[in-house]
């Protein structure tokens, strides 16, 4: 039985062209990029080539792209020092951000005198931009707005361009966690008016352990990690050369095929959604739909059913990998912070199905058939 992978919002399979390139680098180009000899110059050139590719795709200057170990690190880098570096007195974020943003903000609130405010969302996970405006209009000192591009659990998109415009109007800095959008949707830091943006290679068919932080030239920060002068003193530590090259190659591949992939992923999601609606009449879906939603994420709220606590496990046994929409703390399943924020009905079990351009219509059909079978059993 070949397994079906529908957990692409967690991580994606590495592309063969990326794996091949990384293998060659690991085998042949092992010089330390900080060394001045030929081995070192070669790996330095690989990194700078990757930086150029990323900068071109997100419309940044090469000096504004920094390679990190993950988007978690990139978000920590931006959020932890911004209070002291840029005199930020207030941060406006949202309850549905990823934990690496929320927990960093909790840390900031605990260790500085900066006030952190969390915007609510509606039952689809959407922001009220008038509330953001209202909140910004009451701010007196320097402010940071930290809002994600698209939600990783329910797929709802924020209007990041509008957020950028609102920030610009109120002279606020804008940090955008673009992890679920980068490689799938156009992410142009100029159009967004973003000062800071994060991305992660393993979400777009690159390797794990490789991320980027975009830091605008007019809003530079001090480093999170101290040590050597790597990444122009922004991120100490010997570079993950193969990971950096893999990130850039994967991002380039996604950018080249973006429209075709988006069409395919959208049709897979619609096919899956339609099959579930036919087979399970009371099924419901969390989050926004259509253009307000990331095409690759479908959060399904199943009608109460005796075996629903075991659904993810039973799907796993049936050969389908998916994620549950709950957080499991001390053995008790609870709705995640995102489901809580949208007022999800906790009697319904939520499962996140997420697609990539490497999935096929026949996989989707097979997965839907197995899901329906399990729900009806």
Given the rule CB under 6 A, which residues bind ligand PLP?
70-72, 98, 100, 148, 152, 177, 179-180, 200, 211
Burial class (CB in 10 A: 0-12, 13-18, 19+), 284: middle
For residue 375, the minimal CB distance to ligand PLP (Å) is 27
Which of the residues are catalytic? 328
Q: How far is the CB of 210 from ligand PLP (least distance, A)?
A: 8
Measured in degrees and rounded to the nearest 5, phi and psi for residue 211 equal: -135, 175
The pair of three-digit structure tokens given for residue 240, joined into one six-digit string:
């993950």
d(CA 348, CA 334): 11
Contacting residues for 111 by C-beta, under 8 A, at least 6 apart: none
- State the Cα–Cα distance between residues 196 and 62, nearest whole angstrom: 14
Q: Do strands 90-94 and 65-68 pair parallel, antiparallel, or not at all (unpaired)?
A: unpaired
Complex with ligand PLP: residue 297 or 374, whichever CB lies closer: 297
The DSSP 8-state label assigned to residue 13 in this structure reads P
Supply the minimum distance, in Å, between the C-beta of residue 266 and ligand PLP. Answer: 19
Question: Toward ligand PLP, which CB reaches closer, 6 or 368?
Answer: 6
Least distance (Å) between residue 211 CB and ligand PLP: 5
Nearest to 132 by CA among 88, 165, 100: 165
Q: Which is nearer to ligand PLP, 145 or 368 (CB)?
A: 145
Distance in Å, CB of 36 to ligand PLP, minimum:
32
Q: Which is nearer to ligand PLP, 12 or 359 (CB)?
A: 12
C-beta of 148 vs 215, nearer to ligand PLP: 148
The nearest distance, CB 98 to ligand PLP, in angstroms, is 4
Read off the tokens for 89: 């007195």
Q: Cα–Cα distance between 251 and 265 in angstroms, integer? A: 17
Tell the smallest beta-carbon distance from residue 165 to ligand PLP (Å): 22
Q: Which C-beta is closer to ligand PLP: that of 344 or that of 352?
A: 352
Q: Give the pairing type, strands 196-200 and 143-146.
A: unpaired
- Residue 195 beta carbon to ligand PLP: minimum distance, rounded to whole angstroms: 17
Pick between residue 31 and residue 199 the one whose CB is nearest to ligand PLP.
199
* 141: Cβ contacts below 8 Å, ≥ 6 apart: 87, 88, 89, 90
Rg of the chain, C-alpha, whole Å? 21
Q: How far is CA 5 from CA 58, 182, 286, 321, in A?
A: 28, 20, 21, 5
- Yes or no: say if 338 and 96 are a contact pair by the CB < 8 Å rule: yes
72 or 336: CB nearest ligand PLP: 72
Please answer whether residues 32 and 45 qualify as being in contact, where contact means their C-beta atoms are separated by less than 8 angstroms.
no
Residue 97 DSSP label: S
Asked whether the CA dihedral 198, 209, 88, 119 is positive or negative, the reply is: positive
Q: Which of 210, 249, 292, 241 is nearest to 57 (CA)?
A: 249
């Amino acid at each position: 039985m070949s397994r079906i992978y529908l957990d692409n919002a967690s991580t994606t399979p590495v592309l063969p062209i990326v794996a091949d390139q990384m293998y060659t680098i690991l085998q042949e180009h092992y010089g330390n990029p900080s060394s001045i000899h030929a081995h070192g110059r070669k790996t330095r050139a690989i990194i700078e080539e990757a930086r150029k590719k990323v900068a071109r795709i997100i419309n940044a200057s090469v000096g504004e792209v920094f390679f990190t170990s993950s988007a978690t690190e990139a978000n920590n880098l931006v959020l932890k020092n911004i209070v002291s570096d840029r005199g930020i007195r207030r941060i406006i974020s949202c309850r549905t951000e990823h934990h690496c943003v929320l927990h960093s903000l909790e840390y900031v609130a605990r260790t500085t005198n900066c006030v952190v405010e969390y915007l609510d969302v509606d039952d689809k996970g959407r922001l009220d931009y008038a509330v953001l405006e209202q909140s910004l209009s009451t701010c007196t000192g320097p402010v940071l707005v930290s809002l994600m591009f698209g939600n990783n659990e329910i797929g709802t998109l924020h209007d990041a361009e509008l957020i950028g415009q609102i920030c610009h109007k109120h002279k606020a800095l804008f940090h955008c966690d673009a992890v679920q959008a980068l490689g799938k949707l156009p992410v142009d830091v100029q159009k967004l008016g973003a000062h800071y943006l994060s991305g992660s290679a393993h979400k777009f068919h690159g390797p794990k352990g490789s991320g980027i932080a975009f830091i605008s030239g007019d809003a530079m920060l001090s480093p999170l990690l101290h040590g050597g002068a790597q990444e122009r003193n922004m991120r100490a530590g010997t570079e993950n050369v193969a990971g950096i090259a893999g990130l850039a190659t994967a991002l380039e591949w996604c950018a080249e095929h973006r429209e075709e992939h988006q069409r395919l992923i959208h049709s897979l999601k619609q096919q899956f959604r339609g099959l579930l609606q036919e087979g399970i009449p009371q099924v419901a879906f969390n989050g926004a739909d259509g253009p307000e939603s990331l095409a690759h994420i479908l959060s399904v709220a199943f009608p109460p059913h005796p075996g629903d606590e075991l659904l993810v496990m039973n799907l796993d046994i049936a050969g389908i990998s998916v994620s549950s929409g709950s957080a499991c703390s001390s053995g008790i399943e609870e709705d995640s912070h995102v489901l809580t924020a949208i007022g999800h009905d906790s009697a319904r079990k939520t499962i996140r199905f997420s697609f990539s351009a490497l999935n096929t219509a026949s996989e989707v059909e097979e997965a839907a058939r197995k899901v329906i079978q399990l729900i009806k059993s």
